[in-house]
Amino acid sequence: MAEFCGHKKSTYQEDQAIFPTRFRRNLLIAFLCFTIFFPFLGFGYLQYLAIIIGITIIAALGINILTGFTGLISLGHAAFVGVGAYSSALLVSKLGFPFWLALPVAGVIASIIGIIFGLPSLRVKGLYLAMATLAAQVLLNFLMFNWKSLTGGVDGYVVPTARIGPIVFDTDNKYYYLVLAMVLIAALSAKQLFRSKNGRAYIAIRDRDIAAEVIGISLFKYKLQSFAVSSFYAGVAGSLLGHYLSVITPENFTLTLSINYLAIVIIGGMGTILGSIIGSFFIILLPEFLNIIIRHLGDIFPYLALSMFYMKMILFGLIIVGFLIFEPKGLAEIYQRIKKYFKLWPYAY
Amino acid sequence: MDENFIFIWHVLVSGVVTGCFYALIGMSMVLIYKTSKVINLCQGELTMLGGYVCFSIISFTGIHFLIAFSITLFAVFLIGILVERTILRPLLGESPIAILMVTIGMANILGGVVGLIWGADSKAFPLILSPSSIVLVIIVVSVSLVLIFLGFFKFSIIGISMRSVASDQQASLALGVSIKKTLIIAWGLSAVLSAAAGIFMGNLSGLNLSVKIYGLKALAPMILGGLDSVAGAVLGGFIVGVTEVLGDTYISDIIGGSISDSIAFFIIIVVLIIKPYGIFGTEEIERI
């Protein structure tokens, strides 16, 4: 008997599955195997980058929940990452919290601070949250710089090494697995969130807020909730970042980083979990590629190395503008298109 | 006169001058917000660009300041049009998030270009007047610019079409107002206003790359006055300017760090808590 082409779904379970096809499951397993064996390949610097990418993915998932799924924009995500980093560091070193407890508590503190700033602007529609979070970014950064007794100011704050029970995360290898586990938890729970009632409410608000309100979704409640979840992700990412860097300064959490997170969401793809992951890889690896290119060209054109900072800035701007104009759904959409092309390859129909 | 009084007088004048900058930049942002419902986050870069272009014209050709001033305003008008035409036009009708992000991208491009051409070190304008008379000139010119533009919105055909586009795009399209043309003019004029602020800043205290933060700080007068009120932005600009200088004089010592860059953002939060639509802003009421 001839098999039908394509993937048939005969139950609701299959229809709602997180990874609906066997190919995607296998691809995921293959990718996971690769990530697990990655440290054994012995790339020193690449492993550092992998850890930073992992932490960025968690933060980017947070801002994607807010911007990509709920349709609100935050210009202060880096500040909430910073709040997470500082509160986790202070909890562990001053109050003697164990790391496994400080990590979620840092997330909770970040979301409480987020709510304090987001509350007034979420009552009104429009781009007010963008401005409130911009203000939060500047004011929180100002506090980090100037509340010297708490944060150490520009000199930085020394964060104790993370430890869970007998395991001390003092090497890159150990920390890599910690971050990997956290990324998996973060990505899967974000994926799960959008199969639940609350996540669907966020999407409804993004797509048409008036219609959502009419069918009984409380705009204020769900917007606030989405903002709190987003800040929680930021806080967790900040905690991981702080314990990894071991010295944090206010310069780690400036407006530039906030814009970077937004760029990740735009470039990766708004409203897709995959987009946050691809976008994080892109934004972290892009400057590294540029550094390599400029290092090689720098011998020939010495002026280039001097102006590298500005060149990066222009390129970064061009990429954001280019993606918004030509590829508004981001890299995730390009991936889907390639997949669709090869699904039917070599026949066009 | 009492010494204390002179000191306060100086602080107030300096506050009013800062207020002029805020009024000009805030007004230019409201102009864009009114016509296209976009919060333009590259206004600070346009301000900076205006200052640098004027500086270059003066230092390369040595022509009179006033001629350089007018050439700059014209050049920046064209740059504003270019920005609208290249990056805003393709996104006409897209979501506000996309448009806000594209202005951030543009801010990066403009900031990078300015840094690439003029470098990071501070540039001082050649002095044409004594510092105290410059302050007077800045206040007079800014206030008259503001008045001219207020009259322009109120009475000229272009101004009226701008206001009609702001209130209802479809209706104004039906009445024969070209939305694209109106948007282009709005962007050009907004660039002119903020470039004027940039040139004044350069004359008063020299230019450097940190001028661009005024583009973000000008959100405070914008919100204080109400997002869509031109007069509100002007009033808000003077309030924020004076508050900033007063706060910087009297509070910075207590905290032990300069707070002049944070006060504007503090005002944003306070306004959002107390009166989110600002002093003159229209409260949005949606009809279903």
Minimum CA–CA partner of B256 in chain A: A146
What is the pLDDT, as a whole number, of residue B197? 92
Residue B11 sits at the chain A interface (C-beta within 8 Å):
no
By CB neighbour count within 10 A (0-12 exposed, 13-18 middle, 19+ buried), where does B135 fall? buried
**Cβ neighbour number for residue B159 with a 10 Å cutoff:** 19
Cα four-point dihedral sign A235, A239, A244, A249: positive
By CB neighbour count within 10 A (0-12 exposed, 13-18 middle, 19+ buried), where does B40 fall? buried
Which neighbouring-strand residues pair with A158? A247
Residues of chain A contacting B96 with CB distance shorter than 8 Å: 73, 126-127
**Residues near B223 by beta carbon (within 8 Å), at least 6 away in sequence:** A128, A131, B236, B267, B268, B271, B272, B278
Can you give the pTM of this predicted structure?
A: 0.90
What is the pLDDT, as a whole number, of residue A182? 94
What is the pLDDT, as a whole number, of residue B192? 93
Q: Which two tokens stand for residue B99?
A: 């448009």
pLDDT digit string, tens, across residues A82-135:
999 999 999 999 898 899 999 999 999 999 999 999 888 888 777 888 889 999
Residue A70 sits at the chain B interface (C-beta within 8 Å):
no
Interchain pair B112, A130: CB under 8 A: no
Residue A303 sits at the chain B interface (C-beta within 8 Å):
no
Q: Using CA atoms of A49, A51, A56, A58 in order, give the dihedral in degrees to the nearest 10.
A: 160
ipTM, interface predicted TM-score of the complex: 0.90
- The answer on pLDDT for A167 being more than 80 is yes
pLDDT tens for the 288 residues of chain B, in order: 678 888 888 888 989 999 999 999 999 998 888 888 888 999 999 999 999 999 999 888 888 888 999 999 999 999 999 999 998 888 887 888 888 899 999 999 999 999 989 888 888 887 777 777 888 888 998 999 889 988 888 898 888 888 888 888 888 889 988 888 898 999 999 999 999 999 988 888 888 888 888 989 999 999 998 888 888 899 999 999 999 988 888 887 777 667 788 889 999 999 988 888 888 877 766 666
Residues of chain B contacting A71 with CB distance shorter than 8 Å: 95, 97
Q: Are A117 and A102 in contact (CB under 8 A)?
A: no
- In this complex, which of B110, B257, B266 lies closest to A146 when CB atoms are compared? B257
- The answer on pLDDT for A1 being more than 50 is no
Q: Are A138 and B266 in contact (CB under 8 A)?
A: no
User: B106: distance to nearest CA of chain A, Å?
Assistant: 6
What is the pLDDT, as a whole number, of residue A328? 86
